[in-house]
């Protein structure tokens, strides 16, 4: 079910997009990550509301809700108009819920897939994004946000320890709180025959209160792709490390697409630091029936 509607509010036009689908055959096609008994759990889709001129000064106000079979994301964003040569500001309120399978997942099908261990990561964040003016190949984003993270069971109850009795948060309580300053830079160069990409992220936990997490987390991804006739050669290098306070859900998980193929997410391992090199050569296949 999908619908698109424009509503006029004064001089502004509010765009509303709705798209929902009930996956009746999903349990038979996709192996379930968790036990679902409610019919609403099989509904996936999105809801998006956009106001292009909230206070009459071209301020943009967006509300979006995306729901999958096992995860959901609610985002409220407010953007003020600024000159193109200065950083663009965006105030954000976001809540996401997703299965935590990178660290607490249960390997199934001979480690080729990670099933749910009954833990779901609930993250509430409020803050500000600053998007620097992009050059021809470089782009940069700086953000500062307050985050509240907790682990929930499939029925919505807070979890403080995993199946082995270890704490699932850094504080040992039902939730972790932190103020995170994040810097992300990206370089992209592409043409018809090849592409190069480099992404670097640095996160710093700011000690506003003594009980809040203090850490420094660094991650980079470098990749290069070259077209070799009908084939495509791709190589990548991913690495990162975290110093200071670390909750289990912040660990680097190795395994899955973009990491080590043939293994589920986190099935190879997880920890404070990681370095993964990946090389692939793909060929197109034509199958005639």
List, for residues 110-128, the tens digit of each pLDDT value.
555 666 678 899 999 999 9
pLDDT tens column, 269-283: 888 999 999 999 998
Per-residue confidence band for 28, with pLDDT thresholds at 50, 70 and 90: very low
Residue 22 has pLDDT above 60, yes or no: no
Nearest Cα to Cα of residue 169 among 156, 190, 150:
150
Q: In this structure, how many other beta carbons lie within 10 angstroms of the beta carbon of residue 215?
A: 19
DSSP states of 123-165 as a string? EEEEEEEEEPPP-SSEEEEEEEEEEEEEEE-TTS-EESB-TTS
Pairing of strands 194-206, 138-152: unpaired
φ, ψ (nearest 5 deg) of residue 98? -150, 155
The CA-atom distances, in angstroms, between 199 and each of 7, 108, 190, 202 are 40, 32, 15, 10
What percent of the chain lies above the pLDDT cut of 90?
44
Question: Residue 37: what pLDDT?
Answer: 53
Query: Which residues have CB under 8 Å from 155's CB, separation 6+?
Result: none
∠ Cα 197 91 211 (to 5°): 90
Nearest Cα to Cα of residue 195 among 203, 204, 186:
186
Instruction: Tell me the mean pLDDT in the region 67-91.
Output: 88
pLDDT tens column, 174-231: 999 999 999 999 999 999 999 999 999 999 999 898 889 999 999 999 999 999 988 9
Instruction: Tell me the mean pLDDT in the region 28-55.
Output: 68
φ, ψ (nearest 5 deg) of residue 270? -155, 155
Residue 29 has pLDDT above 50, yes or no: no
Question: Residue 44: what pLDDT?
Answer: 84
pTM: 0.80
Report the mean per-residue pLDDT for the chain: 84
Q: Are 224 and 232 in contact (CB under 8 A)?
A: no
Spacing of C-alpha 236 from chain mean position: 20
Instruction: Tell me the mean pLDDT in the region 243-252.
Output: 92
Question: Residue 27: what pLDDT?
Answer: 47
Asked which of 6-15, 72-81, 126-135, 266-275 is least confident by mean pLDDT, the reply is: 6-15
pLDDT tens column, 128-167: 999 888 777 889 999 999 999 999 988 889 989 888 888 9
Q: Give the max Cα distance, the chain.
A: 66
Question: Residue 38: what pLDDT?
Answer: 60
Question: Residue 137: what pLDDT?
Answer: 86
Question: Residue 151: what pLDDT?
Answer: 93
Instruction: Tell me the mean pLDDT in the region 12-16.
Output: 63
């Amino acid at each position: 079910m999908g619908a698109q509607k424009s509503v006029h509010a004064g001089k502004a036009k509010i765009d509303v997009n709705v798209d929902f689908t009930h996956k009746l055959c999903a349990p038979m096609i996709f192996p379930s990550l968790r036990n679902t008994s409610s019919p609403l759990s099989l509904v996936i889709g999105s809801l998006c509301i956009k106001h292009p001129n909230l206070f009459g000064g071209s301020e943009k106000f967006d509300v979006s809700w995306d729901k999958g079979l096992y995860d959901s994301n609610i985002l409220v964003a407010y953007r003020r108009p600024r000159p193109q040569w200065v950083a663009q500001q965006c105030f954000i309120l976001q809540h996401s819920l997703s299965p935590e399978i990178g660290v607490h997942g249960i390997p199934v099908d001979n480690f080729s897939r990670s099933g749910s261990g009954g833990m779901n990561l609930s993250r509430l964040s409020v803050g500000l994004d600053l998007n620097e003016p992009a050059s021809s190949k470089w782009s940069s984003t700086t953000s500062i946000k307050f985050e509240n993270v907790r682990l929930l069971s499939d029925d919505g109850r807070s979890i403080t320890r995993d199946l082995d009795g270890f704490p699932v948060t850094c504080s040992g309580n039902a939730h972790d709180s932190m103020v995170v300053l994040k810097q992300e830079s990206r370089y992209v160069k592409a043409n018809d025959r090849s592409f190069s990409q480099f992404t670097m992220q640095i996160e710093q936990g700011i000690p506003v209160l003594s009980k809040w997490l203090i850490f420094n987390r660094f991650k980079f991804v470098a990749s290069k792709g070259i077209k070799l006739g009908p084939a495509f050669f791709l190589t990548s290098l991913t690495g990162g490390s975290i110093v200071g306070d670390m909750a289990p859900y912040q660990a680097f998980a190795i395994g899955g697409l973009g990491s080590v193929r043939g293994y589920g997410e986190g099935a190879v391992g997880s920890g404070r630091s990681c370095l993964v090199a990946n090389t692939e050569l793909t060929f197109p296949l034509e199958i005639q029936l």
